[in-house]
Amino acid sequence: MKKVAKDLVVSLAYKVRTEDDILVDESLDTGPLDYS
Residue 21's pLDDT band (boundaries 50, 70, 90)?
Answer: very high
pTM of the model: 0.52
| Higher-confidence position of 2 and 17 | 17
Q: Where are the beta strands (DSSP E) in the chain?
A: 10-12, 15-17, 23-26, 33-35
Please state, for a pLDDT cut of 70, what percent of the chain lies above it.
Answer: 81
Distance between CA atoms of residues 16 and 3, nearest Å: 23
Whole-number Cα distances in Å, 3 to 14, 23, 30, 34? 18, 28, 25, 15
